[in-house]
Chains A and B, each alone.
Chain A
Amino acid sequence: MITIVDYSAGNLTSVERALKFIGYNSCITDDTSKIKASERVIFPGVGAAGSAMNSLVQMGIDKAIKEAFEEGKPILGICLGSQIILGRSEENETLCLGIISGSVKAFPDGLTDIDKNRLKIPHMGWNRIDIVTPHPLLEGIEADDEFYFVHGYYPNPDDSSHIIGTTNYGIQFPSIIGSKNLLATQFHLEKSGRPGLKMLKNFCEWNPC
């Protein structure tokens, strides 16, 4: 069974529906024993880092996720879930889970594109991935495929070997990161059409060793 971690950070049914569409049952839960018993864990989330971390700690889910990581269980973080696995976040100056060392940074002010047009924050819409490190998650993904983003902060691991893919928005920022059995995408693969569903399926079939 795949568990989708519920810590009151947004609507999780879209992840559940996407999994169902590609043939996987899942369970949305805040029960740490269910997270412990599951084969795979998906850790989504939208909203602010500060309140999300508060909820995680209050519910004891922070420990459950760290344990799942230690046990070698495949874990997928999505959007806010790709950020709070790092050590700390500039958003609300939040201490985060620290599974991957690094920080969550705000897009700098005054970003422009190559034609000097002002870029709006948040980064909202469809954008591409530049692959840095080949990974089973990316099997069948083509260079022109695009994914749906909505965020004002981005994950920035200390160790560049934890960066699997990057995306350009005025700056080149990490959009897929990972370490061992943990993978995380800044974009919403559950809302990214066929390539997103393909990536979700790749995660469901992934056996990290």
Chain B
Amino acid sequence: MLSKRIIPCLDVHEGRTTKGIKFKDNIDIGDPVDMARYYYDNGADEIVFYDITASHEKRDIMLDVVRRVAETIFIPFSVGGGIRTVDDMRKVLLAGAEKVSINSAAVKNPKIISQGAAAFGSQCIVLGMDVKEVGKSDKIPSGYEIVINGGRTYMGMDALEWAVRGQQLGAGEICLNSIDADGTQDGYELNLTSLISSHVDMPVIASGGAGNLEHISDVLTKGKADAALVASIVHYETYTISDIKEHLDSQGIKVRKHW
């Protein structure tokens, strides 16, 4: 059977990672390639990079990072942040990423999902969703609304409807980030994750809120997630990927134990 995946997420700004201050040994904590290799060696099942470079002129720096990562690790990795066109996707995929993640660009222009899927296959297209709980209403029947700009802009779109539509448009996977849970370390948003995961056929990666090992096992069982995104909890070495997998294994959750 499939293993549940543990996926570290690295934010990259102008070619340097922005978290991970507690790294020791000989790891250059600012170098996304070195960080990726560290997580690869430690059993990460996949890696997500978010390019948070604001300046458009400096965005090609990320392509160089992607090329170097692709020469160094031999597991799938995805790149998100600032991808707005099929041509942006092509550049990232040709540089060696397995998948691209599109978020606000898809909200503003849903056709980019179908265009990307037609050009590269659904397996390449991850629909990133930032979601806030707003209470159920006629407009937002699930009670969860799509937001962009880090949660500052409400889009008037129901998260569940958007997930189902994303699947129809050809997305191959969802990376579901709860803005409410993000950064709290109080646990993933289990209701939201379970709701979305049980209504789509594609895998759902849960994101936002991991603070301890139980949070991760909870989202993979009660939350019905196929994978868990982890950031601070591994960047600050509260736990290693191996610790997380040992815990999940002890809970009877199937994980990849050899790498």
For window 77-128 of chain B, which residues contact chain A by CB distance below 8 Å?
Answer: 93-94, 96, 98, 120-123
For window 110-139 of chain A, which residues contact chain B by CB distance below 8 Å?
Answer: 113, 118-127
User: Is there contact, CB below 8 Å, between B1 and A11?
Assistant: no
Stretch touching chain A among B11-19, B26-34, B67-75, B232-240: B67-75
Nearest-CB residue, chain B, relative to A197: B74
In the complex the two chains form, what is the Cα distance from A105 to B238 in whole Å?
A: 45
In the complex the two chains form, what is the Cα distance from A119 to B257 in whole Å?
A: 21
- A1-38 Cβ-contact flags toward B at 8 Å (1 or 0): 00000000011011001101100000000000000000
| CB contact between B256 and one of A10, A120, A126 (< 8 Å): that residue | A126
Interface size in chain B (residues, C-beta < 8 A): 31
| CB contact between A13 and one of B74, B96, B203, B257 (< 8 Å): that residue | B96
- B1-16 Cβ-contact flags toward A at 8 Å (1 or 0): 1110100000000000
In the complex the two chains form, what is the Cα distance from A185 to B120 in whole Å?
A: 21
User: Is there contact, CB below 8 Å, between B3 and A146?
Assistant: yes
User: Is there contact, CB below 8 Å, between B76 and A148?
Assistant: yes
| CB contact between B173 and one of A10, A124, A142, A144 (< 8 Å): that residue | A124
Answer whether residue A64 sits at the interface, using C-beta atoms and an 8 A cutoff: no
Answer whether residue A207 sits at the interface, using C-beta atoms and an 8 A cutoff: no
User: Is there contact, CB below 8 Å, between B203 and A193?
Assistant: no
User: Is there contact, CB below 8 Å, between B70 and A193?
Assistant: no
User: Is there contact, CB below 8 Å, between B74 and A191?
Assistant: yes
User: Is there contact, CB below 8 Å, between A150 and B123?
Assistant: yes
| CB contact between A46 and one of B5, B121, B227, B257 (< 8 Å): that residue | B121
Nearest-CB residue, chain B, relative to A113: B1
User: Is there contact, CB below 8 Å, between B258 and A144?
Assistant: yes
Answer whether residue B209 sits at the interface, using C-beta atoms and an 8 A cutoff: no
Given contacts A124-B123, A124-B172, contact A17 B71 (CB under 8 A): yes
Given contacts A148-B76, A192-B75, contact A126 B2 (CB under 8 A): yes
Answer whether residue B188 sits at the interface, using C-beta atoms and an 8 A cutoff: no
Nearest-CB residue, chain B, relative to A79: B123
Residues of A within 8 A of B121 (CB): 10, 46-47
Residues of B within 8 A of A126 (CB): 2-3, 5, 45, 256
Answer whether residue B226 sits at the interface, using C-beta atoms and an 8 A cutoff: yes
In the complex the two chains form, what is the Cα distance from A171 to B5 in whole Å?
A: 21
- Within the complex, what minimum Cβ distance (angstroms) separates B190 from chain A? 16
In the complex the two chains form, what is the Cα distance from A46 to B173 in whole Å?
A: 16
Residues of B within 8 A of A (CB): 1-3, 5, 40, 45, 70-71, 74-76, 93-94, 96, 98, 120-123, 172-173, 198, 201-203, 226-227, 256-259
Since A14-B96, A145-B258 are in contact, a sample of 18 more A-B pairs with Cβ atoms closer than 8 Å, ordered by chain A residue number, is A17-B70, A17-B96, A46-B123, A119-B2, A120-B201, A120-B203, A120-B226, A124-B173, A125-B45, A146-B3, A146-B258, A148-B75, A169-B2, A191-B76, A191-B98, A192-B75, A193-B40, A197-B74
- In order of increasing CB-CB distance, the 9 nearest A-B pairs are A126-B3, A146-B256, A144-B258, A150-B123, A125-B2, A126-B256, A193-B259, A145-B258, A120-B201
**7 A-B contacts, Cβ less than 8 Å apart?**
A14-B98, A120-B201, A120-B202, A122-B202, A124-B202, A168-B1, A191-B76
